[in-house]
Chains A and B, each alone.
Chain A
Amino acid sequence: MFSEFLQYLFTGITIGATYALIALGFTLIYNASHVINFAQGEFLMVGGMATVSLTAMGVPMLLAVVLAVILAGVLGIALQRLAIAPAKNADVVTLIIITIGASIFIRGLAQLVWGKEYHVMANFSSDEPIQVFGAVLNTQSLWVLGVGAILVAVLVYFFTRTLTGKAILATSMNKDAARLVGIRTQVVLMLAFMVSALLGSIAGIVVAPITFTSYDIGIILGLKGFVAAAIGGLGSGMGAVVGGLALGVVEAMAAGYLSSDYKDAVAFSMILLVLFFLPRGLFGAKVVERV
């Protein structure tokens, strides 16, 4: 009985950590610009697909990862500079539609360049799973969790200890005030898109050995990341992490104990429950108050 529970938990936390990283990306951009960036999943796809195709061309794994992350970062900057910045007086809804257009465009390009097949990425370390109290843990899950934890720690440091991080935070609180104290808000916006793209692509790379990767993997993972961000209160970093983990665990538990047919429906009804009973999300209100 316990081993079953543990098995579901492992599954849930692994995929939940991925959701959390994507949700953090959503949150960053949402805070900086109030835009829900529907191209977030594409950063994930670019990370995974670029790594796979570079290693297939003979580039060493580590270098391929670095290049893929840089590519995603450049893409993030390009998205902000070329698509979001020029439409500066547009409604937030219009900006959201622009990100949808961008995601279709990026996906279309990926399909042209990399093709439509699914690709395999080898586990970073041993293929031999670890046995824990009768449950099985894939070594790659440890990588996902470890990398996720490091990224979160780096982000916390970035936002609380560095000037740039504080500038981004300040801009997200009040754009005009930030501008008044001399923060260049356009640069901040660009940074937010870049950091969010870096996060997404790293998530895409560490999770690729578990999920495989293809040109359209970003659609559903991006969406799940958005759901996680919404559960966490859209705008709270802590909320994104908890929302992601909660979503992953609930999905796995629902598949295990309730009905695999309706596990996704259970995940989506979590949004409704949170909105009905904790309208600011799990952590939304706290962050706003702290300011």
Chain B
Amino acid sequence: MFKTITRCASKFVAIAAVSLLAMNVHAADPIRIGSFLSVTGPASFLGDPELKTLQMYVEKINEKGGVLGRQLELVHYDDAGNASKARNFASRLIRSDRVDIIVGGSTTGATMAAVPMVEQARIPFISLAGAVVITTPVKEWVFKTPQSDYMAAVRILNDMKTQGLSKVGLISGTGGFGSSGREQTLKAVKEIGGIEVVGDETYSGSDTDMTAQLTNLRNVKGVDTILNFGFGQGPAIVTRNYDQLGIELPFYQSHGVASDGFLELAGDSAEGLRLPASPLLVPESLPESDPQKPVVEAYKSEYEERWDAKVSTFGAYAYDGLMLAVAAIEKAGTTDKAAVREALESIQGHVGVTGTFNMSADDHNGLKADSFRILEVRDGSWKLIN
């Protein structure tokens, strides 16, 4: 009798132990963070630092014990800037890899191609792309970390106005970034008032000389400033051509070139140009009272130490995306998708590298135009203007 009882008991203990172990295993299941980025192809200067940032901070978070006691696991694919590929990889992340949240989408095209899939699968998605359409109108499951190009346009145009400039010669790339930036600039001009676009030229991403377009803009009657919206090497060529042509008008660029790599390419010819950017380029100029200062400084030094490469604004989008995801999961206390989405939407005062995020049901970006700082190139480096 006793024997049977002990046998039963030991059996019970064994079963309990096994199931406990199983539960433990279950609890230690990693949180899967999915990502598709344009690591190669024409948008690789976005995807490359973004991937490096994600890899590095997933490691760092894991070293510190992970999130909710679980390790993070990064599952990432390279969409090479191709929207069809992006959609396929989003599908693979959701259906095959069964990730808990997606942080990715370097370009607007890649992001928008994945959106129907994401909305259908009901999984939180933090995009790293800029265009307004991503979060306006608000899509239930889609968030983004960069400020929209509309905000950049507003910030630039307002700075122009304070400088007493009112007739803008606009030149833009025909790629996704430049094309959307051009559209938003034209829209912002109407809404702000007191400033107008008097010339409108474009160049394709692979162009090697923009002298003709700039000559046209210079010859427009009354033009008093020139704005270039584009990214990649194109804006650097525009800047050099601008200098070679000896154009003396105040020159503005977009946040698309806010990186030290751009300064290296453009060299002396970048002297005096202005652009809106995240404070990442000028951490030392930030006042001590600025809440972003420690975050920005930490990201910059950690990234540069780990990768032996200069930080870029775009990598910071991935940093903010990952940190928002982690904050939301911690806040929700679970990886339940609906709960994480709720938590993301209610994040307030989250200090990131790009700005301070205040999400709400009507705002899945959570940043204001003043999170952009206006910088000027002086003596080959960035100076904070305001």
List the interface of chain A (C-beta within 8 A of B): 4, 7-8, 10-11, 14-15, 111, 116-118, 120, 127, 129, 136, 138, 207, 210-212, 214, 216, 219-221, 252-253, 255-256, 260-261, 264
Contacts and interface: CB of A to CB of B under 8 A. Distances in A.
Contact of B244 (A138, A220, A255, A264): A138
Contact of A260 (B41, B201, B261): B201
A256 B212 contact: yes
B237 interface: yes
Interface in B202-222: 202-204, 206, 208-209, 211-213, 215-216, 219
Contacts of B343: none
Nearest to A14: B209
A129 B74 CA distance: 50
A8 B244 contact: no
B264 interface: yes
A118 B244 contact: no
Interface of B: 40-42, 44-45, 48, 174, 201-204, 206, 208-209, 211-213, 215-216, 219, 232-233, 236-237, 244-246, 261, 264-265, 267-268
A145 to B, nearest CB: 14
Nearest 8 pairs of A and B residues by beta carbon: A220-B206, A211-B208, A255-B212, A256-B212, A118-B233, A11-B211, A116-B44, A260-B201
B174 A117 contact: no
B49 to A, nearest CB: 10
Contacts of A212: 233, 236-237, 265
Contacts of A252: 209, 211-212
Given A120-B264, A220-B206, 19 more contacts: A7-B211, A11-B209, A15-B208, A116-B40, A117-B261, A118-B232, A118-B261, A120-B267, A127-B268, A129-B244, A129-B246, A136-B211, A210-B208, A210-B209, A214-B233, A253-B212, A260-B201, A260-B203, A261-B202
Contacts, number: 76
Contacts of B48: 116
A8 B236 contact: no
A136 B244 contact: yes
B87 to A, nearest CB: 23
A118 B265 contact: yes
A4 B41 CA distance: 35
Given A117-B261, A136-B245, A210-B208, A8 B215 contact: yes
Contacts of B42: 216
Contact of B219 (A4, A14, A219): A4
A255 B208 contact: no
A71 to B, nearest CB: 23
A221 B245 CA distance: 24
Contacts of B204: 264
Nearest to B208: A211
B212 A117 contact: no
A221 B207 CA distance: 9
A180 B244 CA distance: 57
Contacts of B211: 7-8, 10-11, 136, 252
